[in-house]
Structure 1
Amino acid sequence: MNKFSASLILSALCACCAASAVAATLTGQLVNQTGKPLVGAVLTLQGPAGKNVLALKADMDQRDKEFVPHVLAVHTGTEVKFPNSDNIRHQVYSFSAARRFELRLYGGTPSEPLLFDKPGVVVLGCNIHDWMLGYIYVTDDPWFVVSDSNGSVILDQLPPGHYVATLWHPKTPDMRPVSGGEFNIPASGLTQRFSLKVESSDEEPASPASTAFGDAFHKATHE
């Protein structure tokens, strides 16, 4: 191989590496219909092909008789553990079509995680503490994030290109995901505001009723 050919190959490799290194960042905020930030809202994206999402592992903890986080977003095929960080026992269950299960009265961490292999909303409850309510949002979309206490989200390492967004929150009508629109994300990144209609302007109920799980489950399974 002569020097000219070697130089061409090296230049091509460098160009490929530079192209693969280009990654953009989406910075956003999710708000309700009155402009108030939404806590625990899920944003998912479909975009340029070529990103493979590996099955991950995640935790849905129980602390102070609450599910933590209140909303957990995972990709289809993720194994989720349910540690119990309280000094009392819980009995976690779900009747949701996306994943039905029951973890009988236990403390500590069950030895085996549960596989969430169907997209959909999984409503979590506790047979011992009726007010405990949590959600696992299982998505096929390769990019996803849950909004923080300010309604803010950040997704980085995105290939520049055209994206389609989906939004979800526990208080969307019938607990269904809705369209978040389409937009282009340039290499320089994008800041975007997403508005989502919810049933109440409050992010979390001040005092969850004893029927919270039943109400949430009815919404999630309503066709």
Structure 2
Amino acid sequence: MRSVFFSVVLVMFSVIFSVSVSAANFEADIVDQQGKPLKFAVLTLQGPPGNVAIALKADMDQRDQQFAPHVLAVHSGTQIAFPNSDNVRHQVYSFSPAKRFELRLYEGTPSLPVLFDKAGVVVLGCNIHDSMLGYVYVTDDPWFAVSGGDGAIKFDQLAAGHYKVTLWHPDSADMQPVSGGEIDVPVNGLRQRFTLPVQPKDTDMDMTPAPSAFGDAFKKAAHE
């Protein structure tokens, strides 16, 4: 009986060890068609099955009459809170197919978060401030992230193996996800560059959107 116990322990240790040594890092550099780093790009991965810790709670704040972050990526089934850090009231809403909702005029934080249970692009607006524009990218893929100002994304402790890549950006021509191809992540890690064409803008993406931006964005996102 004792030998059986130690055999089971040894097998469990071997499994844990094999998982730990197969973990790898994957770094992505996302650029536009001009080769410039692309901020607010979403990259998702489909790959080998495994235990992935996914947080199903997130915040979409409102600061300086803008949504913060401008782009939020979450897994389907995530509860999102919409705190209002401004000293004016907001009325957040969306009529995107992936999630239709409205938070009546409020200050502070609504008592209940909003459940985003369907994959897709959700365009956010404010009934009081027409220039406010934000996006929630809801995915069924287990790995996802949003690029920073340098266009970089990094996944730590990713299982080595074969993955399918999906890319998205709010300034893409039709605002729909596109394939980023397939990659093989070795045990010693991988760094790869992806080009995602976007529509040229006259102003920086961090600037306040035009009043018509919400309507234009919704029309694109409604194509899904």
TM-score normalized with structure 1 length: 0.94
Where 1:175 maps in the other structure, the secondary structure is coil
The CA distance in 2 between the partners of 1:142 and 1:110, in whole Å, is 28
Structure 1 residue identity aligned to 2:70: H
Structure 2 partner of 1:72: 72
Q: CA deviation at 1:12?
A: 2.2
Structure 1 residue identity aligned to 2:17: A
Structure 2 partner of 1:185: 185
Structure 2 partner of 1:121: 121
Structure 2 partner of 1:213: 214
Contact 1:81–1:110 (8 Å) recurs in 2: yes
Q: CA deviation at 1:95?
A: 0.7
Please show how residues 69-218 of structure 1 align to structure 2 within 5 Å.
69-200=69-200, 204=205, 206-218=207-219
Please show how residues 16-55 of structure 1 align to structure 2 within 5 Å.
16-22=15-21, 23-52=23-52, 54=54
- Cα RMSD of the aligned pairs, angstroms, is 1.8
Contact 1:44–1:145 (8 Å) recurs in 2: yes
Query: Structure 1 stretch 18-27 or stretch 143-152: which is displaced more?
Result: 18-27
The CA distance in 2 between the partners of 1:203 and 1:185, in whole Å, is 34
Q: CA deviation at 1:221?
A: 1.0
Structure 1 regions of 5+ residues with no counterpart?
Answer: none
What are the Cα deviations for residues 70-124 of structure 1, in whole angstroms up to 9, with x where unaligned?
0000000000000000011001000100000111110000000000000000000
Structure 2 regions of 5+ residues with no counterpart?
Answer: none
Where 2:174 maps in the other structure, the secondary structure is helix
Structure 1 residue identity aligned to 2:103: L
Q: CA deviation at 1:172?
A: 1.0
Structure 2 residue identity aligned to 1:65: Q
Structure 2 partner of 1:15: 14
Contact 1:38–1:203 (8 Å) recurs in 2: no
Q: CA deviation at 1:53?
A: 5.4
Q: CA deviation at 1:174?
A: 1.0
TM-score normalized with structure 2 length: 0.93
Where 2:49 maps in the other structure, the secondary structure is coil
The CA distance in 1 between the partners of 2:167 and 2:204, in whole Å, is 15
Structure 1 residue identity aligned to 2:141: D
Q: Identity across aligned pairs (percent)?
A: 61
